[in-house]
Structures are given as C-alpha cells and as structure tokens.
Structure 1
Amino acid sequence: METIQLIKDIILNELQDRVKYILSFKNKLEILEENDIQQGVTVARALQSFINAEDKEVTKTRYDRLMKSNNYLSNYKGFILEFRQFNGQITKRNLHSFIFEITSAHESTVLNALFPNGNVQFKDLSV
C-alpha cells in the first residue's frame, strides 16, 4: 500500500482500508511468530516501515489545520501515533511486543469515528 496522500477531500473508505490493512497483520504475525519467526520479523519490519511513513506524513505541520477540521483524519492520525510506543528495530526477541502494539493501537484509539457501524476486528481484512 502506498503512503497516504493527505487531501482535503480524502474519503472515509480510504482511511478504513488503511486501518484494516494494518490490523490484518496481527493474525499473520502471530502465526509466523510460532512457525517462522525470521519471516515474522521480516513482515513486521515491512509493516513498521509503512507505519513510519504514514506517521511522517500525518504529523507534518502543514496538515495541522486539515487534521483539526477532519474528524476521520484526526482519528486515523491517533491510530498511527499509537505505534510510537514501540521504538527500535524489530528482532526475534521483541516481535511479540510489536504484535502487542497492534492490539494496543486497536484498543486505545477511538476507531468508532472511522467505523460507525461497529469496530473493526482482527481478522484477515487485507485490502
């Protein structure tokens, strides 16, 4: 998935797809942690790279006004910022902690603004 392009008329569907994309990795990573931890680390690093790129984009000062005026974008930014709790490179030893960060971001962000008909669950929701 490409890094988000912040525009005034961004649609809710795009933000929902981005959240689903990130959350879909949780189950995959749990399976890989048990069966092929090195592959799990590789996949987690790719996800972390995507999240870091999203973080860099949504936190640019030039988008502050847009974030304040768009509840969907503001909630998406909050979701992405939750991943800042995990610092450093993902290794075999801390892969489980990164997986926990996905759970934490899911639980501590107000996703009902992005999913008004019910919160998105951890299942394979790949876009």
Structure 2
Amino acid sequence: MDERAEKAREIMRGRVPKGFESLAHAYRELRSEFPDKSDSWFFRALYRALAGVERLRDGHWLVKGFPELGDRKPVYNVWLHEGRYRCDCFYRAHGWAREKQICTHIAAVMLWRRQTRLSEFRELGTR
C-alpha cells in the first residue's frame, strides 16, 4: 500500500497523522456535507487531495489523475464559476453521471480549499 492510501485510511478512521490536522478537519466537514457518499468516494477524494491539488488561478485547479482510481488522463481541470463546480471528466465516458453525483476530482478541490482555509486561519491565530 502506498503512503497516500495509508494516510487517507488513517484520516477516515479518525486517526490523524501528525501534520494532517487541517486535512482531517476538512474531511470531517466534507463528510457532514455529503453524508450519503460512500467510503470509496471519500477515500478517492482524500487520495487525490493528498497527491496535491494545484491552483492555477481563482476558480481553476488541476487534480492529478490516477489509473488505479479509474482515471484515463494524467490531469483533470476543475473550475468554479458562479458557485458551480465543473470538471473536464464530465466530458468523458460516463460524464453525465459524474456531473450529477459530484466527481472525486471536485471533492479533492473542495478538500484542498477547506484545508487551505483552515491552515490560513490557524496561522493567523499564531501570530
């Protein structure tokens, strides 16, 4: 098992690895927002977030693709426009289903944004 998978499973079990407190908190927030999502969905979102989300500019991120998670592309674009997320996986096979159910590329960005917000908030409190 690779390190990302191990960390994702630890966070899902409530065991927070040192240095991952803000991601664990972001995960709990996302979990409460989407209580009907499967453990597999959350695992894939965490795995992607742990691999790193790259912010290109306001409202545009890149999320690394992983063949082991069913991805066919090395990178996916996620956009936020007028309060609505979009992912370029919507324009691929089964995209209509992903769009209606929120793909894990978008979930990774949601986790990243929450984690970033929490980290910035924590830094402000220590100054």
Give yes or no for TM over 0.5.
no
Task: Write 1 or 2 for the structure with the bigger share of helix.
Answer: 1
TM-score (norm 1): 0.27
**TM-score when scaled to structure 2?**
0.27
Whose RCO is larger (CA < 8 A, sep 6+)?
Answer: 1
